[in-house]
Amino acid sequence: MGKWRTEARFVGMTVDDGVARVTLDHPARRNALSWDMLVELRAALLEADDLRAVHVIVLEGAGPDFCAGYDMQSAYARYASESAGEAGADVYRSGSGSFDDDAWKLERFQELLRTPFTLHKPVIAKVHGHCVAGGTDLALYCDMVIAADDARIGFPATRAMGSPPNHMWFYNVGPQWAKRLLLSGDVVSGADAARIGLAVASAPAEALEQEVMSLARRLATIDAELLATNKRIVNIALELAGAGTIARLAAEMDSRAHLSRAKREFDADVAAMGFKAAARRRDEPFGDGTVRPSW
C-alpha cells in the first residue's frame, strides 16, 4: 500500500493536487480511537509526510462524527478480561493495574496521538459532528482546526473519568476557557470554538468542505520545505512554552484521576449497565451540556 501503510481497516487515505486526505473510517463506532486505529493513523500520516507529492494534510472523519473519543467499550472489555485472569493477562502491564501501569499505557497512546504535531507538513483537522474526549486530543495536535458551526467539541469525560491525557487546551484557549470547559465537561459549538481560539475558523456544515479545501489548496501552492520551516518554529515555541512537559504531566494527572472515587463509581456503573448507559447517567445532570457564551 505504500512505504509506511500496510493496511486500511480503519483509516483511509487519498492524495490529490498536493493535498492528502487522511480519514478516520470506522463510523459504526463513531470513529472512536482504538489502539489499532491509532497505529494505522500514524502510518497513514507518516506516509503523507514522506510523499513528495503532498504539501498539506487534511484529517477528517467518515460518517456523522469526526471522532467520539477513545474506544472505551473495547478498553473496558480488555480490563474485564485482565481482571478475570484470562491466559496471558499477567504477562504484560495491565491498563487497570497500578498507577505506573496506567501512566505507561497513556504515554504509549500519546506517542501515536502526537503524530500530527511531529510531522513536518501542516495538518488541518476538519471537524464535524462530535469531536469529544480523545477526539479533541487528536484535533488539538493538528496545526489548525476548522469546524462545522454545529459541531460539538469538548471533554465530557472530565465529569467522572479523568483528565485530558494530552492537554493542548491551555495553549489554544488560555487558562480561563480551559478551566471553564474542563472543570464542567461542557462542550462548545464549532462556531463558538472559533470565537475562543479552539478552532481557527468555522463554517455551516454544508460549506465545511469548501472552507477546509480552500485553505488546504492555498497552503498546497507553497513549497513543502517552507511550510515545514514555519510549522516547526511555532511548534518549537510551544515546546519551549512547556507543551511537551505538560503532556507528560497530563498523562500522570489522568492516571491520578483514575484513582478517584468518581472514577470508581463510574466503573461500577459501566459494570452494571454498560458504557453507554453509564455515560448517559453521568451526563444527565448537565442537560445538553453546551456552553452558550453571551458575546
- The rounded distance, in Å, linking the Cα atoms of 295 and 91 is 55
Residue 95's pLDDT is 67
Residue 202's pLDDT is 98
The answer to whether the beta carbons of residues 156 and 185 sit under 8 Å apart is yes
77 pLDDT exceeds 90?
no
Query: Averaged over 165-188, what is the pLDDT?
Result: 96
Query: Averaged over 274-278, what is the pLDDT?
Result: 90
Residue 43, judged by CB atoms within 10 A of its CB (0-12, 13-18, 19+), counts as buried
The answer to whether the beta carbons of residues 123 and 45 sit under 8 Å apart is yes
Max distance between CA atoms of the chain, in angstroms, equals 57
Tell me which residue of 61, 85, 78, 76 sits closest to 10, measured CA to CA. Answer: 61
The answer to whether the beta carbons of residues 48 and 57 sit under 8 Å apart is yes
174 pLDDT exceeds 70?
yes
Task: Count how many Cα atoms sit within 13 Å of the Cα of residue 189 in the half-sphere of its side chain.
Answer: 13
Tell me which residue of 46, 39, 49 sits closest to 9, measured CA to CA. Answer: 39
What is the pLDDT confidence band of residue 237, given thresholds at 50, 70 and 90? very high
116 pLDDT exceeds 80?
yes
83 pLDDT exceeds 80?
no
- The rounded distance, in Å, linking the Cα atoms of 21 and 39 is 17
Residue 39, judged by CB atoms within 10 A of its CB (0-12, 13-18, 19+), counts as middle
Query: Averaged over 145-170, what is the pLDDT?
Result: 96
What is the pLDDT confidence band of residue 59, given thresholds at 50, 70 and 90? very high
What is the pLDDT confidence band of residue 164, given thresholds at 50, 70 and 90? very high
Query: Averaged over 250-268, what is the pLDDT?
Result: 93
**Lowest-pLDDT choice from 16-30, 74-88, 252-266:** 74-88
Residue 93's pLDDT is 82
73 pLDDT exceeds 80?
no
Q: Which three cell numbers stand for residue 114?
A: 502526537
What is the pLDDT confidence band of residue 295, given thresholds at 50, 70 and 90? confident
